Amino acid sequence: MAGMLPSPKAAVLEVQETALLAFRAFRRAFRKPFYIRDILTQMDHVGVGSLTIIMLTGFFTGAVLTLQSASEMSRFGAVGLTGTLVAVSLVRELGPVLGALMVAGRVGSGMASELGSMIVTEQVNAMRALGTDPIKKLVVPRLLATVSMQPLLTVVACSMGIIGGLAVAVGILRTSPDLYLNSAWNGLDYYDITGGLLVKPVFFGAVVAVVSCRCGMRTEGGTRGVGRSTTQAVVVSSLLILVSDYFLTQLILEYSP
């Protein structure tokens, strides 16, 4: 995909094929058969398998953010607002974006390599010969699992970030835990929660799944092609997450009071 295509025409074609894959996957998600077992397996892989890295990322992000913000807020005598700054930063931006980047690195690369290996070993062609739709069997379960688990992982990341900030605020800065938690809760509103914990994670999850599956399904060139597809999946997913975050943030702020 991006950065490895020979011409602008090929890049436009790749965007078209990716959009078409997303359309077909979402349309077929509501048609039988539903492959419930495959969906649950992918949900376990995406959700449970990513918990550790998401929790560590959220915790230390909140801890560092508290250290940095408290030192600056103390200059203005507003250390009591540290909880608000940490909670808003995590829920609005850092939680959704960092969580999606971690999932892209861990899950997206796995999707691309797994599907790429199936392509180069002719397993996908065998599925077509047996009358099985590869998009329905391979892409839809991964898409549904990532879209459904990404908001939950974002909630975990933000929660651990607030806990990490609380640990630093109480253990190092000697701030009252009630003051920190009340400040964090009062700083959030409805649009922060819906935008940061629902809208962005759902969109980012769809981006990771569609791009990773597309990179895997277009693999060619044997084992070297699998490695190339894996790299492309992570790079393109991460880039699209960062770019789309700007436009989603602008859209959310436009409709928020």
Tens digits of residue pLDDT in 234-251: 999 999 999 999 999 999
Per-residue pLDDT of 212-222, as tens digits, reads: 999 999 998 88
Residues in the chain where the model's pLDDT stays below 50: 1-5
Asked if residue 9 belongs to a domain, the reply is no
Task: Specify the pLDDT at position 16.
Answer: 92
Dist CA 66 CA 248 (whole Å)? 26
Cα 42 to chain centroid distance, Å, stands at 15
How many CB atoms within 10 Å of residue 169?
A: 28
Q: Rounded to two decimals, what is the model's pTM? A: 0.91
Dist CA 64 CA 56 (whole Å)? 12
Domain containing residue 125: 36-250
Asked if residue 30 belongs to a domain, the reply is no
Asked if residue 15 belongs to a domain, the reply is no
Asked if residue 218 belongs to a domain, the reply is yes
Asked if residue 205 belongs to a domain, the reply is yes
Amino acid at 31: R
Task: Specify the pLDDT at position 6.
Answer: 55
* Backbone torsion region of residue 131, taken as left when φ is above 0, otherwise alpha when ψ lies between -120 and 50, otherwise beta: left
Task: Specify the pLDDT at position 5.
Answer: 46
Residue closest to 133 by CA, chosen among 35, 233, 14: 35
Task: Specify the pLDDT at position 11.
Answer: 80
List, as one string, the DSSP characters of 79-131: GGGHHHHHHHHIIIIIHHHHHHHHHIIIIIHHHHHHHHHHHHTTHHHHHHHTT
Structure tokens at 52: 């550790």
Asked if residue 6 belongs to a domain, the reply is no
Asked if residue 221 belongs to a domain, the reply is yes
Asked if residue 16 belongs to a domain, the reply is no
Tally of structural domains, the chain: 1
- Collapsing DSSP to helix, strand or coil, 1 comes out as coil
How many CB atoms within 10 Å of residue 200?
A: 28
